[in-house]
Amino acid sequence: MEANQRKHTAGHHHDHAHHAHAHAHEHQHQRGRGGGSRAARTRHRLGHLLRPHRHEAADKVDAAMAASRDGLRTLWISLAILGATTAVQALVVVLSGSVALLGDTVHNAADALTSVPLGIAFLLGRRAANRRYTYGYGRAEDLAGIVIVVTIAASAGLAAYVAVDRLLDPRDITHLWAVSAAALVGFAGNEWVARYRIRTGRRIGSAALVADGLHARTDGFGSLAVLLGAGGAALGLPAADPVVGLLITLAILFVLAEAAREVCRRLMDAVDPALVDAAEHALSQVEGILGTGRIRLRWIGHTLRAEADIIVDPRLTVARAHELALAAEHALIHAVPRLTAATVHTDHTHDGPAGTGPHAALAHHGRTD
């Protein structure tokens, strides 16, 4: 298959650890994008001087390392904030006996502990690819996402058990002022952590960190619900506290569903269709590409990789087809956020330029992909 591929098509795989085509890259800037007028080429060169676009291995490794550092910093700060919040709430639970606050405390503790598997995943993600893990260790984040989902489910089960037990065996709640204060502390801590995690997760492309942020946000609203239980107890309604505990359990289940959906999509290699649209549009703008075949994107940790088929004139030389592959790769990396590597396959139709077009069939020449 590889021999047929080399005989009939010109393919280009760009892995940023093997960029030894500086001259070809420059040549692509001059010819791969169609040449155009002298003024247009001058503007393009000036644009690179003012805002250089570098794809060397060091740049991409540095970007991945920076993303991991941001993720780790977010996790450790979140762990400190939630740890302090959980300690305050646990003390009040001992004093008051509030089951609603107990459920919120358990959930906050579980949320804090999810920082551990995520932190391990980010550390693993820094390891270089090898002959066994040829794509690196970025998928460890997806495994951490599974641990987070299981943790959320376990905290929901515990909160439900305690709430039902208290409904069947009611007990008085004391120190209502302390319960109310602890609920407000829990809301403030969780909302701050939620904003921080979601913002960092979206910036570095970590679905697991975003899911963890959503988890923290629901914990915050659960803390506010504890106020309702305390208010009901103050009005002489002892069932209010365990009922609020059940409501918190319901809120946890909603978060569980959303987090599980995000993690499962990542495990199934789902991407935002808008990214595929952006890739198709970028390739369509490269002069010399007559059409596109399949475009596939997948997340490896918090970075994207792409595979794309492009259709070119069958009369091109191998060198010229290689230049077009470089131009296609360049366009993809610039157009798709968080894309760090692209594999471009060049191919042609049987009937030549006159019969080519955006919907022309690819001639696979023995390829199985």
Q: With a cut of 70, list the residues of the chain below it in pLDDT.
A: 1-68, 171-172, 349-369
Same domain, 27 and 167: no
pLDDT tens across 268-319, in order? 999 999 999 999 999 999 999 999 999 999 998 778 999 999 999 999 999 9
pLDDT tens across 37-68, in order? 444 444 444 333 333 333 333 343 344 445 66
The domain boundary, picked from 267, 299, 328, lies at 267
Give the strand order in the sheet containing 11-14. 11-14, 339-347, 303-311, 291-300
Residue 351: per-residue pLDDT: 56
Residue 59: per-residue pLDDT: 40
Same domain, 205 and 108: yes
pLDDT tens across 130-139, in order? 999 998 888 8
Residue 60: per-residue pLDDT: 37
The pTM of the full predicted model, rounded to 2 decimals, is 0.63
Question: Has residue 46 been placed in a domain?
Answer: no
Question: Has residue 45 been placed in a domain?
Answer: no
Question: Has residue 59 been placed in a domain?
Answer: no
Question: Has residue 237 been placed in a domain?
Answer: yes
Is residue 6 within 8 Å of 318, Cβ to Cβ? no
Question: Has residue 25 been placed in a domain?
Answer: yes
Q: What is the CATH number of the domain that holds 20?
A: 3.30.70.1350
Residue 48: per-residue pLDDT: 38
Question: Has residue 42 been placed in a domain?
Answer: no
